[in-house]
Amino acid sequence: MMQPAMRAIIYSILILVFFQANSFAQSDMYAVGAYYDDTFAEWVVYYGEEETGTIRMKWPLKEDWTQWEVFVGETEGFVKQRWSNKPGHWEAKINDQVIDMRPVFPRDYSQWILKSQEENVRLHMVYSDTVENWSIETKDGYFDFYTTYLGDVRDWSIEDSLGDQLSTELKLAAITLILYHSCPKI
């Protein structure tokens, strides 16, 4: 027969494993990968294990890296640099939600404030010397976006403990901004 102390430890471990597994199951967004190996002009968004959408340059023949189109399931819109002479001011309009994106400090593109009518969050690089790991942290959880393989910006993974507490539109705007600032313009 099992001792009460041992039973309490086993139950605690089972509860911890259950809540840890559920914290990662809150979001279906799984990964983002470059559609082609030799250009970063088009990206595929995966929900679960299925390809469900794209993030792509609006004008690839003009090589205009400042305007992007987002199509993910029922979600669609655009992300663009607001003014051609101000690389630190971006705007997204996705599903009629307008999101304003500006760096925390002028000309420092490692920390951003993303604002919509309902949300105001801070996006930042986790490490100051690499663009391969970004995060949004709130009191309720986190949204992490990082390269799947170190040194390879073609594939990105997502860990999202915020689920519906942060809108899909804001997440997609943040992802587009990260891809723009993290990948070579080829």
DSSP string across 77-97: EEEEEEETTEEEEEEEEETTE
Query: pLDDT band at residue 21, thresholds of 50, 70 and 90?
Result: very low
- Global pTM value: 0.81
Taking the mean position of all CA atoms in its chain, how far away is CA 87?
19
Q: Which helix (H) or strand (E) holds 11?
A: helix 4-24
Q: Is residue 124 over pLDDT 60? A: yes
Q: Which domains does the chain have, with CATH numbers?
A: 28-182 (2.40.160)
- Residue 185's pLDDT band, with cuts at 50, 70 and 90, is confident
Specify the 3-state DSSP secondary structure of 164. helix
CA gap 88, 106 in Å, rounded? 7
**How many CB atoms within 10 Å of residue 165?**
15
User: pLDDT for 67-81, tens place per residue?
Assistant: 999 999 889 999 999
CB 91 within 8 A of CB 98: yes
Q: Looking at residue 24, what is its pLDDT?
A: 37
pLDDT band, residue 55 (cuts 50/70/90): very high
Picking from 43-57, 88-102, 128-142, which range would have the lowest pLDDT averaged per residue?
A: 43-57
